[in-house]
Structure 1
Amino acid sequence: MAQLAATPGRSARQWTDLPERCLELNWPEIGVLALQHRVEGLLCAALTEAGCADQVPASVLSMLRRQAARAEARYRTCHDALAELAGRAPNLVSELVFFKGAGIATRYESRAHRMLGDFDLIVAEDRADELRRHLLELGFWEKPGRNGPTYFRNTSDLPEAGVEPACFDVHVDAPPKYNRTEVTRGPLWLSSTEPSVLGGIACRRLPVEMEIVELISHSSEHALSWIHVCVDDDVRMIRHLDVELLCEQEQVDAGRVGKLAQELGLTGEFALGLAVHEALRGGLPPVLEPLRPLVEPVRDLVDVVALPDGRLETWPVPLAERAFRTDRGALALAMMPDGRRHRDQWFHWRQGLLEGSEDVAAIAHRAEERVRSVLAV
């Protein structure tokens, strides 16, 4: 799993000992890890490329294939819903800024290789109500969020087999989730965007350096959140493969990336995200190597987690190992007092966090203080 790449062919070439070791591996555990890291389609294609898919237990291989098909179906469902919205409000959609899986999925060799849960987009605050009205009229329901609502359609607590939900994760003015200040919600997120086309639909996208800042910062927001660990959404390899793919396919200016992280007020989150990437992938993308000095001061902070009762705790297992354990959720629940070790006591997917507050931003502020001396050089 740790050697999985953004293209199946490269994974197969890197797995030099896989054909000989295939029968020795714990494939049920690898299958669960693939689900947790959202790389089911990539893993399935890479195993086929390596010529050993038929040595994987049939139930595991079948699951990987079903998930690959779901990845394609999810993208199609979200895109079809976007086409409906564009048919009603083309001028609105042309100003929406799509990022993360919505735009990156098409960069993979197949949409089956990039599982996504929704289409992420940024909308200006003065157009958020207009977007809400159109989505509600199209049959979506609204879930409030810290940085903007998420809109769902075709969802239930027991989803119908074969029916994928359409979902738009709306970020009002800016993506940051926990550290929402005047700086992090600044005008750059909307004023620096570029015209784009998403499957024939006119919209906008972030410049590549800004998208890398967002992806890396976002990865730290999830890695430091207790509830994200509990729902297997803390460290996902697919987010880091997205970064690697962008770095390979685009001309990236590392100096510009670092400068944007400062201008957007996300220095702490960004430095932590780089440290998460290094722990998970064993290093940084070559083009981002000039930013390595940001990693050392914060490396230990990626093993801190913000709990909903206000505590900041340190994991008993370092991230480089923890990321490839399937029991991360159990480790997280064990941090809570006796009698409070159930996910449903703290979280419901339709309502979010039920009580308390996770001070993820406090960890990012620590990181920011530590890297100030590096940035001053």
Structure 2
Amino acid sequence: MINPTATQIKGIDMLLQYCSTKDKTLLDKALRQGQIDWGHLFYYADINGLLGYLENMTEGLEDPRVPFRIAVNLKNYVIKQKRRWTVYQELINSIISSNVVSEVPLLLKGSALKFTLYKDEAYLRNIGDIDILIDKKDVKSISNWLESQGFWLREGKNGPTAFKETTEDRYVVDIHLEDPAKLRRNPDLVLDIFQHNKISMNNGAFFIPSYEVLLVHACKHLCDHEEDFRKAFLQTELRLFWLIDIHLLLSKVNYTETVKLAEQMKWKTELLRGIWYSHILLNTNIPSNINVDEVVELNTLDTPNGIVTWPWNFVDRMKRVDRAEWLSEQLGKNGKRNDWYTAADGDRVPTIL
């Protein structure tokens, strides 16, 4: 593995600081210290869902500080994100108006956050799909409706995922049945907590979880990905825009209530880990009543070849772009990405181990 250069780290540090502060002077300050490796920074921002923030810290196509082709690609990203969110909002409205679920839909994760924390600059929040939590009795109805709209469905760990390819983009609806967690699920309990801690949106057209539940779920989702070695092959074992969600949500929640909900859902370990990660990478303020001694920082991956230990601490690991290559080396003959994941099948296992 080749370590990132000092120039590359400088660009990454500048971007991460901007994500938490929105300080427009950071780019000039960084340039006064020397050049920025824009190609590396663009790639880093892309795999971490931060292209919206990278564009936001510049002055667009007219910014002489930014290479023109980088500026063009950042503009194109923003256009695509805005178009995608418009389509997803129309899709949400269609699901609601078609009455394909028996109860008012509950939107999760990015779709919920785009209606709230990112409402004024929705393109800042990277989104690849929309997530909807429903009762399992409605899965057939919403699945049939999505198929009638041109989607094809693939069964997942906690509900079907619907895909639709168009000439402009790929649209995905992730349907969660009762418990949106991927690991250590507890459907009846979690669904009840989500249903009793929600906010009505758009005059009752749909619900989103309370900020407290959104924070706990953001941390749980992050940790579920971090613990799944397959996600490292897709460069999604820990995308940094999730930490920005945590950073922003912490200023909105009643922390005592948040901990109470996390304990009820048995997600407190994940809550503390997510907050800790946001603190050490984005300098997020830790609530006064959090005990950092309870934090369990993950530095291993459980793989079919046994448990492997990351060779970098968390902060250094999150500033690298070669984690997938390192894991591939650890798995040897079964170290190809398509051994463990394909678009058609999702998570998979090789025929011969």
Other-structure match for 2:289 = 290
Other-structure match for 2:327 = 332
Q: 1:66 aligns with which of 59, 76, 82?
A: 76
Other-structure match for 1:259 = 260
- Aligned partner of 2:340: which letter? W
Q: 2:212 aligns with which of 209, 212, 225?
A: 209
Deviation at 1:233, TM superposition (A): 1.0
Q: Is the 8 A contact 2:134 2:177 kept in 1?
A: yes
Percent identity (aligned)? 18
- Aligned partner of 1:259: which letter? K
- Aligned partner of 2:169: which letter? E
Question: Paired residues, what number?
Answer: 334
Deviation at 1:152, TM superposition (A): 1.2
**Structure-to-structure mapping, 1:13-92, within 5 angstroms:** 13-14=25-26, 17-21=29-33, 24-48=35-59, 53-89=63-99, 92=101
Secondary structure of residue in 2 paired with 1:24? coil
Deviation at 1:147, TM superposition (A): 1.5
Q: Does 1:105 align with 2:110?
A: no
1:33-72 residue CA offsets vs partner (Å, 9 max, x unmatched): 11011111221111229x9942222222222221111111
Q: 2:128 aligns with which of 103, 107, 117?
A: 117
> Unaligned stretches of 5+ in structure 1?
357-377
Deviation at 1:212, TM superposition (A): 0.5
TM-score using structure 2 length: 0.86
- Aligned partner of 1:98: which letter? L
Other-structure match for 1:238 = 241
Deviation at 1:182, TM superposition (A): 5.2
Task: State the distance in 2 between where 1:76 and 1:165 align.
Answer: 13
Other-structure match for 1:133 = 144
Task: State the distance in 2 between where 1:275 and 1:27 align.
Answer: 29
> Unaligned stretches of 5+ in structure 2?
1-14
Q: From the superposition, tell whether residues 18 and 116 of structure 1 become closer, same or farther in structure 2 (CA, over 3 Å).
A: same
Q: Is the 8 A contact 2:198 2:208 kept in 1?
A: yes
Secondary structure of residue in 2 paired with 1:336? helix
Deviation at 1:344, TM superposition (A): 0.9
Q: Is the 8 A contact 1:27 1:57 kept in 2?
A: yes
TM-score using structure 1 length: 0.81
Deviation at 1:183, TM superposition (A): 6.5
Q: From the superposition, tell whether residues 231 and 203 of structure 1 become closer, same or farther in structure 2 (CA, over 3 Å).
A: same
Task: State the distance in 1 between where 2:204 and 2:321 align.
Answer: 39
Secondary structure of residue in 2 paired with 1:30? helix
Q: 2:298 aligns with which of 296, 299, 302?
A: 302
Deviation at 1:321, TM superposition (A): 0.8
